[in-house]
């Protein structure tokens, strides 16, 4: 399932847990589905689609959180 931007509504589908995988990398786990956010097809394109998928240890499922 592709992730979409949407107005906040406090739904479980909009809640994510950060799971620390070390070295500053995290899995983003959706509270509703239990699936993780990943870049589809491990694409490196600027327009790559982010989807929910079963955790499988792929590097395309690891995220770095950068403070602004």
Task: State yes or no: pLDDT of 36 exceeds 90.
Answer: yes
* Alpha-carbon distance values, 39 to 5, 8, 12, 24, 47 (Å): 15, 22, 21, 18, 10
Of 9, 10, 27, 7, give the one whose Cα is nearest residue 19: 27
Phi first, then psi, for residue 58 (nearest 5°) are -70, 145
Q: How confident is the model at residue 3, as a pLDDT?
A: 92
- Band of pLDDT at residue 61, cut at 50, 70 and 90: very high
Q: How far is CA 65 from its chain centroid?
A: 11
Non-local (6+) Cβ contacts of 17 within 8 A are 28, 29, 31
Task: State yes or no: pLDDT of 24 exceeds 90.
Answer: yes
């Amino acid at each position: 399932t592709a992730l979409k931007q949407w107005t906040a509504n406090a739904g479980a589908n909009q809640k994510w847990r950060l799971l620390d995988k070390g070295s500053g990398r995290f899995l983003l786990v959706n509270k509703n589905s239990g699936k993780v956010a990943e870049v589809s097809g491990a694409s490196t394109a600027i327009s790559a689609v982010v989807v929910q998928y079963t955790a499988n240890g792929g590097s395309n499922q690891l995220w770095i959180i950068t403070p602004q």
